Amino acid sequence: MPTYDCNEHQFVENLRRIIDSKLQVVVNRIMTQRDDGKYGLSQLPDQEFKKYDALASRRHQRATVYAKVPFYDDLHKRLYMQEDILHSPKNPNRYHLSIPYISVEYRFTLWGETYRHEFDVLYQPQIRLERREIFTGGAEKRATLIHVLNFVPPPEHMWEIHLPPSTIVFDVRRLSRA
């Protein structure tokens, strides 16, 4: 059974043609939260990178990204010091800062052929100055005023393709063929 990949425009238009022809179709949606290093700071376009401007610097897109100031990554529980490498496209490292995302896949099957559209929605950074107790070397913890990076999940309606009520959408975990 063939599976066709569609972009947003193609997927929605294919679905519209089915709805207009009064055929019934079930749309499956698979959503997964991921933090697997797929997206790092060096890949981001300048417009998106600006959101991290208080913490990170780089020469251009796809160049190595360095910490501008010491900061604490609250999601991954990691402390980065000034000049630490946050992301390098040439030498990926599991200690690099990764951006979590929600992977969304929509698919429907008609007459044995499957049409799907996939996209990822990035978590948004939230940067605050906070007083935190952190290890700064030695045995004791010290309360320090430090930048804290948090990641905020995108609102639920941003993962959805908004469809008319005549279309049934089922959320599924994964697809398997017998």
- 70 token code pair: 């010491």
d(CA 114, CA 1): 7
The least CB distance from residue 101 to other proteins, in Å, is: 7
CB of 83 to other proteins, least distance (A): 26
Nearer to other proteins, 19 or 146 (CB): 19
Which is it for the CA torsion 78, 69, 47, 96, positive or negative?
A: negative
Contact 84, 6 (CB under 8 A): no
Which residue, 11 or 72, is less far from other proteins as judged by CB?
Answer: 11
Least distance from other proteins to the Cβ atom of residue 133, Å: 32
Compare residues 122 and 148 and give the one whose CB is closer to other proteins. 122
Residue 119 beta carbon to other proteins: minimum distance, rounded to whole angstroms? 4
Nearest distance, CB of residue 20 and other proteins, angstroms = 9
d(CA 18, CA 2): 18
State which residue, 74 or 120, has the beta carbon closest to other proteins: 120
Residue with smaller CB distance to other proteins, 134 or 152: 152
> How far apart are the C-alpha atoms of 1 and 11, rounded to whole Å?
18
- Site residues for other proteins per CB under 8 A: 7-9, 11-13, 15-16, 19, 39, 44-48, 61, 101, 117-122, 124, 154-155, 157-158, 161-167
